Amino acid sequence: MSIIIGLLIGGLFFLSNISSYILGLRHKNQIIQNIIPFTPLQVATKKVVDIIEQYKPKKEEEKETTVDQFGIRW
């Protein structure tokens, strides 16, 4: 049983090694063709800041008091 588990784990490592090698070849071809496969740092940081600003709780606007709303003073 341990031999089968060892073979399965070894097969997974082999397949991941082959897939990373193929990905490296694609990346190399993109660099040769002057296609930059990564995002410049300034663009990435701007996107992160925009996302943070989108989900940041907004400041509450001034609530109307009863005096402003009804003219009643408690």
Give the mean model confidence (pLDDT) for residues 1-13.
95
* Amino acid 30: pLDDT: 79
Angstrom distances, CA of residue 25 to CA of 10, 22, 37, 57, 60: 23, 5, 13, 45, 53
CA-wise closest residue to 47 among 58, 39, 57: 39
Overall pTM surpassing 0.85 (yes/no): no
Q: How high is the mean pLDDT of the chain?
A: 80
On the 0-12 / 13-18 / 19+ scale of CB atoms within 10 A, 57 is: exposed
- Alpha-helix residue ranges (DSSP H) falling in the chain: 2-32, 41-55, 66-70
pLDDT at 64 over 80: no
Asked whether residue 25 carries a pLDDT value surpassing 90, the answer given is no
Coil/strand/helix, residue 56:
coil
How confident is residue 63, by pLDDT bands cut at 50, 70 and 90? low
